[in-house]
C-alpha cells in the first residue's frame, strides 16, 4: 500500500472533504463550502486527494461531481488495524513481564 492516503489525510481540509463525501457524492462547491480558503487552495487539496485515489471526479459541463473512493481508505484502515494488533501484543508482553517481576 502506498503512503499517499496517509499523506492526503494529513491535512484537516482534506479530511473534511473526505468526511463530507462519506455522506454521498457532492459537487465541488458542496464538498468544500465549509472551508474559508481560496479556490486555488481548495483545488490543490482536491488534487492531492485525487492523486492519492481517495476521490473521483466526474465533469458534466461546468459541474464537477466528487465521490469517495472507498478502497484506498479500506487498505489504510486494514494497515492501521494490523499495526494496532502488533503494538497491543507488544504492550501485553511488557505488561506480563513487569507483573512477573513484581
pLDDT tens digits, 8-32? 999 999 999 999 999 999 999 999 9
Given a cut of 60, whether residue 36 has pLDDT beyond it is yes
CB 17 within 8 A of CB 46: yes
Domain range holding 39?
A: 4-101
Q: How many domains does the chain have?
A: 1
What pLDDT sits at residue 32?
96
pLDDT tens digits, 58-74? 999 999 999 999 898 89
Would you give the distance in Å from CA 82 to the centre of its chain? 17
* CA separation for the pair 39, 22 (Å, rounded): 22
What is the reported pTM? 0.79
* CA separation for the pair 83, 77 (Å, rounded): 10
What pLDDT sits at residue 59?
95
Average pLDDT of span 28-47: 95
Q: Could you tell me the CATH number of the domain that includes residue 81?
A: 1.10.10.10
Task: With cut-offs at 50, 70 and 90, classify the pLDDT of residue 47.
Answer: very high
pLDDT tens digits, 83-99? 999 999 899 899 998 98
What pLDDT sits at residue 101?
85
Amino acid at each position: 500500500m502506498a503512503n499517499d492516503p496517509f499523506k492526503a489525510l494529513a491535512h484537516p481540509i482534506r479530511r473534511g472533504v473526505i468526511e463530507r463525501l462519506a455522506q454521498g457524492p457532492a459537487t465541488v462547491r458542496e464538498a468544500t463550502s465549509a472551508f474559508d480558503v481560496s479556490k486555488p487552495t481548495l483545488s490543490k487539496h482536491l488534487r492531492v486527494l485525487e492523486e492519492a485515489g481517495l476521490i473521483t471526479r466526474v465533469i458534466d459541463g461546468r459541474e464537477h461531481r466528487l465521490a469517495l473512493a472507498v478502497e484506498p481508505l479500506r487498505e489504510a484502515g486494514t494497515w492501521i488495524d494490523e499495526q494496532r494488533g502488533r503494538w497491543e501484543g507488544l504492550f501485553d508482553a511488557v505488561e506480563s513481564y513487569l507483573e512477573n517481576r513484581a
